[in-house]
Amino acid sequence: MSLNPKRRLTPGALRFLRASAVGLGLLGLAACGSQEQASANEPLRQIDIPADFTFSTTRAVTVTVSAGFTAIPTGAKLVIERGDGSVVYSGALLADRPLTLPLMVATADQRLVLRMNSEYREWQAELQVDGPQVSYVFTEEN
């Protein structure tokens, strides 16, 4: 098998290399330090990686939330959650202005959950985060 680092590997070859790497890892490769060096069979060295790829696992999404009605004259509490339910924002949403928050989402994340609570009732909405800017307007109906 060629070890040409620029050669695109087949899925079968990748599986073999990954399995080999796992096995070697379990056996304990050379310790790191000033002499450390990855195995020549390291799969990450055998593939073509796009020239502009930075290995980022997150992306920035600007979320704008507003309440398009007058049912929250004293404002409302807004909570924004990730898909797993963990909270990324908690605070006030005023009736007279939208709230714009640049938030970090994982590359794999597809949605955020918006929960709004006024003294009268609660709202909940699911927001698809499929672009760099997303917005949502709470209404009486939603």
Partner 1 sequence: MRTLLSTPLFVAALAIPAAGFAQDSDGDGASDGIDAMPCDAAVSGVSYYPSQGQHSQIVFEDQFPADGDLDFNDVVVGTNMVFTTNANGDVVSMRATFNLLAQGGIFHSGWGFHLPVSRASVASVTRTVGAGSAKALALEIDSEATVLLSEDARELFSAQDKTIYTQINSDPAIAVRTAQVMQVDIVFAAPVALNMGLAPFDFFIFRENHPELQVHLPAYPGTAAMDTSVFGTQDDTSSPGRWFTGSNGLPFALNLFGSSLYPQEGVSISSLYPNIVNFAQSGGTADADFMSSQVVSAVGFAGAPTPSFIGADTFAADVSCVPAPTCTDGYQNQGESGLDCGGPCASCVTVSASCPPASVALPVSCEELRQAGVATGTYCVDPDGPNGQAGLVVYCDQDTLGGGWTAVANVTTTGPTYQTFATKGGTDYLAPLSVSTVLRNAATEVRFECRATNGGVIDQVSTDAAWLGRPIQVGYGCANGYHYAASASLLSTLTPAPANTASIGTGAYGGGCCCRPNVAVGYMTAGFGQSSWFMYDPYYRRAYPTCAGTSASYMRIYYR
Binding residues among 66-105 for partner 1 as defined by CB under 8 A: 74-78, 81-82, 86-94, 96-97, 99-105
Residues 29, 71 contacting (CB under 8 angstroms): no
Asked whether position 113 contacts partner 1 by CB under 8 A, the answer is: no
Closest CA to 20 of 12, 2, 47: 12
3-state DSSP assignment of residue 116: strand
For the chain, the farthest-separated pair of C-alpha atoms sits apart, in whole angstroms, at: 70
137 binds partner 1 (CB under 8 A): no
Q: Using CB under 8 A, which of 1, 7, 60, 126 touches partner 1?
A: 60
Closest approach, Cβ 6 to partner 1, in A, equals: 8
* 124 part of the interface to partner 1, by CB under 8 A: no
Distance CA 67, CA 25 (A): 54
Q: Can you tell me the distance from the alpha carbon of 104 to that of 94, in angstroms, rounded to the nearest whole number?
A: 23
Number of H helices, E strands in the chain: 1, 7
Q: Is 1 in the site for partner 1 (CB under 8 A)?
A: no
CB 70, min distance to partner 1, A: 15
Residues numbered 29-58 forming contacts with partner 1, rule: CB under 8 A:
29-34, 36-39, 42-45, 47-58
Minimum CB–partner distance for residue 111 and partner 1 (Å): 14
